[in-house]
Amino acid sequence: MKIAVLADFHLGYAKFLDDSFEQAERAFSEACKRADLVVILGDIFDARVPKQEILARSFKLFRIAWEKKWDTKIVSYSSRDERKNYAEVPVVAIHGTHERRTKELVNPVELLEKAGFLVNVHSATAVFERDGERVALQGMGGVPEEYAKTALEALSPKPVEGAFNVFLFHQSMKGFIPGEGLMSLEDLPKGFDLYLCGHMHTKISQKLDSGALLLIPGSTVITQMRKNDTESKGFFIFDTKTKEAAFHKIESRPFFYEELEFKNAGMNEVVAEARKSIEKLLEDKSDVKPIIKLKLKGTVAKGLNPSNFDTGALEREFEGRAIVELDKELEFETLKERIEKLRNLREGKVSVRDMGIEILKGKLKQYGFKSKVDIETLYSLLSEEGKGAADKALKRILEM
């Protein structure tokens, strides 16, 4: 049996609303064509209580599965809360952390379950059959990270005899993502043939010590804009006969990520380098506006503060050609350092002249001037009194 493995559609994600639906539809539609069984590993929606407009679009998307004549049939379904299954299509899901609600409230995946769009295997077991082969699926939807191990122990899932057993979950995992108190591979229930995990947005395929495979398909839409998001979006198809998984790419909005390092830079230098980098990335023409994220790192010229670095104008400059986001991790002179300078000045450790020269150097660097003249001479001109002093200084600056 061929099992399609998808995750993290984040339908309704506000920043890229249309992308969330269009890319999810491409993945889901292709999965239904290629597979005998489709699994979605949570965070189908981006919100716990989606707007009605989002739900309406999702219903249209999931009707795609109803259009296919499936040979795979559900033969048994049981849950701990004795709820019923209403879906006649082999589409299986669990809820994610974005959809989690308190026990007495209906989450959006449960809504899709009751509408007959999918089989919800959170705290439940569903067995499907095709050509005499049986596949049993059990799952645990997203829970707070600190309770994941306890919840899994309480669930205590056991493989179904005579079936190929699959366990679904939606959590962060130690070794794949940083964090304290995360569940690890050792915490997974024993005896399953395939483990499928949502929540982490980067695709991963890893063979476990038991010989079973762990698959993390990643998201179908960009939400976090991290370096790893530059990889292709898509889904896995796992073949229960060969025990191999193949990743199938979907068409998605191009995403570029780049880090720029600066040393004692002025505002003009930062903006110029960022603009140059964006222009270079846009040389690869695309019918769709790409997403470009630049991380600006390093140090800035002394005397500058974060308010000097308003990069909004640069982001707007390219809004017709790309979606640009600048992440500033620049190091500014701290308030403590400035106080220390003032204290040294007050105590006579640094002369007014020396302090003035340092400030002048910083300001010239801030506005992109590269010194071709003695800064001390320029400072002297600016310090002179008289009608022609300022004009002389200005002339020197323009000559730089």
Are both 133 and 84 inside the same structural domain?
Answer: yes
pLDDT in tens, 45-57: 999 999 999 999 9
Q: What is the pLDDT of residue 62?
A: 98
Query: Which CATH number does the domain housing residue 47 bear?
Result: 3.60.21.10
| 381 domain-assigned | no
Are both 278 and 237 inside the same structural domain?
Answer: no
Of 320 and 396, the one with more pLDDT: 320
| 175 domain-assigned | yes
Are both 18 and 99 inside the same structural domain?
Answer: yes
> How many C-beta atoms surround the C-beta of residue 182 within 10 A?
18
Per-residue pLDDT, averaged over 320-335, amounts to 82
| 32 domain-assigned | yes
Instruction: Evaluate if residue 130 carries a pLDDT over 90.
Output: yes
Are both 239 and 286 inside the same structural domain?
Answer: no
Per-residue pLDDT, averaged over 141-165, amounts to 95
Q: How many domains does the chain have?
A: 2
Are both 78 and 128 inside the same structural domain?
Answer: yes
pLDDT in tens, 272-326: 999 999 999 999 877 889 999 999 999 888 777 777 777 888 899 999 999 999 9
Q: What is the pLDDT of residue 228?
A: 84
Average pLDDT, the chain: 88
**Distance in angstroms between the alpha carbons of the first and the last residue of the chain:** 72
Q: What is the pLDDT of residue 346?
A: 56
How does DSSP classify residue 73? E
Q: Which domain holds residue 333?
A: 255-367
Are both 36 and 146 inside the same structural domain?
Answer: yes
Q: What is the pLDDT of residue 386?
A: 56
Are both 88 and 69 inside the same structural domain?
Answer: yes
